[in-house]
Structure 1
Amino acid sequence: MAEHLLEVRDLSVEFHTAAGTVKAVQNVSWHLDRGETLAILGESGSGKSVSASAVMNLIDMPPGRITSGRVLLNGRDMLAMTAEERRRINGARIAMIFQDPLAHLNPVYTVGWQIAEMVTTHGGAARDAQARALELLGRVGIPDPQAAMGRYPHQFSGGQRQRLMIAMALAMKPDILIADEPTTALDVTVQAQVLALLEELQQETGMGLLLITHDLGVVAEIADRVVVMNNGQIVETGLAAEVYRNPQHPYTRKLIDAAPGKGQMPQARDRSGAPLLRAENLHKHYGAFHALKGVGLTIMPGETVAVVGESGSGKSTLARAILRLDDPDSGSILYRGQDLMTMTPRQIFGLRRDLQMVFQDPTQSLNPRMTVFQLISEAWVIHRDILPKAQWKARVAELLVKVGLRPEHAARYPHQFSGGQRQRIAIARALAMEPKLIVCDEAVSALDVSIQAQVIALLDGLRREFGLSYLFIAHDLPVVRDFADRVIVMKSGQIVDEGPVREIFEAPGHPYTRALLAASLDPDPEVQAARRQARASQEERIPA
């Protein structure tokens, strides 16, 4: 049998913690060949990133420890190499791009210097390194590469920062590129561009691509083979299309069933009667930047209105303006007929209990020094008329059960929960105020597909039980399709399309809406293959 480019054999990794030993990876084996894309698919905690970190020698030891296995690069065991030998391989022969590029780009150095450093670190001349950095910036699609050389990471968008990470990883023309959740937080159009770029670069260089992901759509778009991991073990492996069409393991079936965008779309609601909230002609400037340009929307009682668009479209600015967390420059916001723009701070304070927000990252929005009980009951400390103190403990327990947690979780701290559980705590915290409207700002975008499905089902159940309304900010169109009643599409601070969810998805009226839908990924590899073929045919018909 021919030698594989990279092969992992019987790899086991464990971490020693105060609570005991965690077996993160258990007897895992897989291989990657030149020119191939292998996806390791699984939820948070499945061990997929730990196994990739072992390849790159990035596991902190202690508390981590590789207890068994071999990692073979062209037949040589990297686990038996010296630290000096590993340093010569990392970056030069095996490179890695990470989920959050801002956390892995140095904020005090220009991006040109950081890319060039990859070359000089591996023995290249400074002049050659600068030329290589400039070439790579152009290759990955950064506008005006010469000017970009002197800029800093914070001066680029999220999608551009991911392109910078790709440029840095490709500096030494590696044989293997490991991409760890490279598109999770990106808009659908930017995600499509990044995946197309990776595929194009792979075809040019023949490198093997190892893709770590929880997104079935990404697997369908780019992967040749897939390895499915759960609880540190491989439960299924095979060609991507075969695994999707005929999954053999219950966990794989669970992931496929949880993929959004396949259920029944909500029926159009009766919108007669008085609206719960109406915003009209909202404008917002940040210096010379015009973030909102005459935007308006209406939310009826019990209705979910989704706002979609790329980063910078103004959707989060709109959400903050409606809650008066960031006052618009002009316009009106009527809540049950009362104009929030003319209210005093004391009057706004009284309305906070009706209007709540759930943020994208619960790790940032939950105070790490407070227990779950303190986080949820804080609302009653501030608004003393909601609930007598003697009933706080019982109500916290009730809310935790309502969001799918247990009463005993009240004594724990946020870091003791998974991402999906923390988001449930944030929802329970919002419910403590007994609100009428909850604004969800990308509240499920970073969650695993099955956890995302659970949170969406939870929000929908709470809507039915309590008559809640939602303003749902999102860039994940399949989730919007399953959950929203109406969709508002924003671009460059303006609303370009609006209508019932079925109308937007089946007969989009604006070219930008059609572009967003075309860039959205389907979990079915055969559907994605047909879409790629259609895109290629369309590009061939467009004259040069």
Structure 2
Amino acid sequence: MADHLLEVCDLSVEFHTAAGTVKAVQNVNWHLDRGETLAILGESGSGKSVSASAVMNLIDMPPGKITSGRILLNGQDMLKMTAEERRRINGAKIAMIFQDPLAHLNPVYSVGWQIAEAVVTHGGPKDKAKARALDLLRRVGIPEPELAMGKYPHQFSGGQRQRLMIAMALACKPDILIADEPTTALDVTVQAQVLALLEELQAETGMGLLLITHDLGVVAEIADRVVVMNGGCIVETGNAAEVYRNPAHPYTRKLIDAAPGKGAMPEERDRSGAPLLEAVKLQKHYGAFHALKGVDLTIMPGETVAVVGESGSGKSTLARAILRLDDPDSGSILYRGQDLMTMHPRELFGLRRDLQMVFQDPTQSLNPRMTVFQLIAEAWVIHPDILPKREWKARVAELLEKVGMKPEHARRYPHQFSGGQRQRIAIARALAMQPKLIVCDEAVSALDVSIQAQVIKLLDGLRREFGLSYLFIAHDLPVVRDFADRVIVMKSGQIVEEGPVRQIFDNPVQPYTQALLAASLDPDPEVQAARRIAREELQQRIPA
């Protein structure tokens, strides 16, 4: 009998690039036992995802190369297996769910067909594959599973797509499930549901769960042990609670200290005077779906207003409507007293520099054919009076440094960066316009905790220096607690509660707001255990 279900011994992986050799993983050792949850914690570039990719044989070689080590599954070294033997293991014995399910689900096939295909591909009976797919959809909590079988990935929400990925991964009852940032882009209540589902399925099947994450709250909620990686090396390992309470390595302490939601909340600011922006009775329909139901919103100069709520609550629709990226059906949007809804297109073009947006998914919002320099400087091409061309290079370098990147990154393309780095580029691009209001639509949700803290500090510093205002769409409530002045809670296209950040976090009135706060993850395992109990108690009180 092998000592462990899965064991990685002295694993080293490097990538050969035009700029030289990158040592992504260096002499890494960890193990996973049956029924255990092991979290590999670290920031972008730490090597955590490369380790998991090596287990799944997903590293492109070249440019990648495994230079040393063993990967033992039940005592057998998978690195010595043939490609055919590895294919028989992937999916059947070891399955993986990814951070972005939409990118890994085939858009031209129904989800029922895709799950059934996973069963058949690994030797399951064709005549029972459809029934197995239907049973899995029920098991992971997809509404109306019989109808869902014939739907396509784009017809599901982000949380539902992640559940579909879990269903596909479990199709062949694997011994090991690798989850690579499975909840990063999910709302707090959906995140809690997905983690609870993984725990429940693990208890049923006894599978080992390998969780790749940068979120200390996720570690506190679900992990038994944690491995902390930095610069391709393991710097600390141990019981999740012990590592949080008594971190032995300075890098682990840095991660813990950077976790949001622990500092003092902003004091309530004076809201007298003329507002910067007002939205009055905004309505928006998409066919029969009523996305906004008479929403009112006021943002004062220098104020940060956060909008929180679950997927489908209308918060992103509100953001797009305010910038007239998606015109509302009725209502008014007043910017410094001028109604954007009745403004001439030429006037509106002139105001675009004052109103900027940072989108949730930088992969979609950054042109893959443009360098970082071109992406940031594009603002000055469109509005040439902002900055003389001779100053573009220096300003791009300055903006990149402000968001935690290097001036030499200006020569690269978006695909050469991690997701978190791409989001930093998107923020730098928005700052290039010297705007008065920035709408941040989940702008920091994909960032590592230390970079997230750095970007929030940057945004707050810019607010103080230039009097910037922010409309901050977010599902990360600890960040909202640290950064916002006021909080608006949305549900089903309506505002159900609003007020200063201290009032919302310390004395929420509505059960829905209370449920959101209870579902938010805390990096302290003891605090998180108490929140789990509170979340279960509130479950029965939430209106349908």
Task: Say yes or no: TM over 0.5.
Answer: yes
Q: Structure 1 residues 104, 363: CA separation in 2 closer, same or farther (over 3 Å shift)? A: closer
Of 277-286 and 533-542, deviating more is: 533-542
- 2:289 aligns with 289
Contact 2:116 2:132 (8 Å CA) reproduced: yes
- 1:257 aligns with 257
Contact 1:445 1:474 (8 Å CA) reproduced: yes
Cα distance in 1 between the residues matched to 2:168 and 2:219: 24
Cα deviation code 1:411-462 (max 9, x no counterpart): 4444455544443433333233222111111111111111111111100010
- 1:16 aligns with 16
Offset, 1:402:
4.3
Contact 1:40 1:229 (8 Å CA) reproduced: yes
Cα distance in 2 between the residues matched to 1:541 and 1:333: 35
Query: 3-state SS of the aligned residue for 1:291?
Result: strand
Q: Structure 1 residues 264, 211: CA separation in 2 closer, same or farther (over 3 Å shift)? A: same
- 2:504 aligns with 504
Cα distance in 1 between the residues matched to 2:406 and 2:205: 51
Aligned residue type for 2:324: R
- 2:52 aligns with 52
- 2:192 aligns with 192
Aligned residue type for 1:273: G
Q: Structure 1 residues 373, 68: CA separation in 2 closer, same or farther (over 3 Å shift)? A: closer
Aligned residue type for 1:275: P
Q: Structure 1 residues 325, 241: CA separation in 2 closer, same or farther (over 3 Å shift)? A: same
Cα distance in 2 between the residues matched to 1:120 and 1:400: 48
Cα deviation code 1:306-364 (max 9, x no counterpart): 11111111111111111111111111111111111111101101111211112223333
Cα distance in 2 between the residues matched to 1:462 and 1:342: 31
Cα distance in 2 between the residues matched to 1:311 and 1:536: 20
Cα deviation code 1:491-523 (max 9, x no counterpart): 111111100000001111211111111110000
Of 452-461 and 350-359, deviating more is: 350-359
Offset, 1:111:
1.4
- 1:313 aligns with 313
Of 523-532 and 272-281, deviating more is: 523-532
Cα distance in 2 between the residues matched to 1:484 and 1:88: 50
Contact 2:44 2:420 (8 Å CA) reproduced: no
Alignment of 1:201-212 (within 5 A): 201-212=201-212
Offset, 1:151:
1.5
- 2:243 aligns with 243
Percent identity of the aligned residues?
A: 89
Cα deviation code 1:261-313 (max 9, x no counterpart): 11111000000111111110001112222111101100011000011111111
Q: Structure 1 residues 541, 206: CA separation in 2 closer, same or farther (over 3 Å shift)? A: farther
Cα distance in 1 between the residues matched to 2:259 and 2:383: 39
- 2:445 aligns with 445
Gaps in structure 2 of 5+ consecutive residues: none
Offset, 1:112:
1.4
Cα deviation code 1:67-95 (max 9, x no counterpart): 11111111111111222222222211111
Cα distance in 2 between the residues matched to 1:415 and 1:436: 30
Contact 1:353 1:433 (8 Å CA) reproduced: yes
Contact 1:95 1:178 (8 Å CA) reproduced: yes
Query: 3-state SS of the aligned residue for 2:478?
Result: helix
Q: Structure 1 residues 111, 332: CA separation in 2 closer, same or farther (over 3 Å shift)? A: same
Cα distance in 2 between the residues matched to 1:401 and 1:72: 42
Q: Structure 1 residues 286, 450: CA separation in 2 closer, same or farther (over 3 Å shift)? A: same
Cα distance in 2 between the residues matched to 1:463 and 1:85: 56
Offset, 1:473:
0.8
Cα distance in 2 between the residues matched to 1:460 and 1:327: 29
- 1:7 aligns with 7
Give the TM-score, by structure 2 length: 0.95
Q: Structure 1 residues 373, 336: CA separation in 2 closer, same or farther (over 3 Å shift)? A: same
- 1:217 aligns with 217
- 2:77 aligns with 77
Contact 1:179 1:212 (8 Å CA) reproduced: yes
Cα distance in 1 between the residues matched to 2:427 and 2:536: 43
Of 2-11 and 498-507, deviating more is: 2-11
Q: Structure 1 residues 412, 300: CA separation in 2 closer, same or farther (over 3 Å shift)? A: same
Query: 3-state SS of the aligned residue for 1:384?
Result: coil
Q: Structure 1 residues 394, 4: CA separation in 2 closer, same or farther (over 3 Å shift)? A: closer
Cα distance in 2 between the residues matched to 1:383 and 1:399: 17
Cα distance in 2 between the residues matched to 1:459 and 1:416: 25
- 2:335 aligns with 335
Gaps in structure 1 of 5+ consecutive residues: none
1:472 paired with 2:472, answer yes
Cα deviation code 1:235-270 (max 9, x no counterpart): 000000000000001111111111111111100000
- 1:130 aligns with 130
Q: Structure 1 residues 108, 241: CA separation in 2 closer, same or farther (over 3 Å shift)? A: same
Aligned residue type for 1:170: L
Query: 3-state SS of the aligned residue for 1:28?
Result: strand
Offset, 1:407:
4.8
Contact 2:42 2:230 (8 Å CA) reproduced: yes
Aligned residue type for 2:113: W
Cα distance in 1 between the residues matched to 2:383 and 2:46: 41
1:68 paired with 2:68, answer yes
Cα distance in 2 between the residues matched to 1:380 and 1:200: 53
Offset, 1:227:
0.4
Offset, 1:24:
1.1
Contact 2:309 2:489 (8 Å CA) reproduced: yes
Query: 3-state SS of the aligned residue for 2:150?
Result: coil
- 1:35 aligns with 35
1:142 paired with 2:148, answer no
Aligned residue type for 1:103: A
Contact 1:420 1:452 (8 Å CA) reproduced: no
Query: 3-state SS of the aligned residue for 2:471?
Result: strand
Cα distance in 1 between the residues matched to 2:395 and 2:251: 35
Root mean square deviation, CA, Å: 2.0
Contact 2:486 2:499 (8 Å CA) reproduced: yes
Offset, 1:532:
2.6
Contact 1:115 1:171 (8 Å CA) reproduced: yes
Of 423-432 and 458-467, deviating more is: 423-432
> Number of residue pairs matched?
542
Query: 3-state SS of the aligned residue for 2:117?
Result: helix
Contact 1:437 1:468 (8 Å CA) reproduced: yes
Aligned residue type for 1:374: Q
Query: 3-state SS of the aligned residue for 1:342?
Result: coil
Cα deviation code 1:379-437 (max 9, x no counterpart): 23322333344444454444445445555554444445554444343333323322211
Q: Structure 1 residues 109, 490: CA separation in 2 closer, same or farther (over 3 Å shift)? A: same
Query: 3-state SS of the aligned residue for 1:496?
Result: strand
- 1:117 aligns with 117
Cα distance in 2 between the residues matched to 1:537 and 1:494: 25
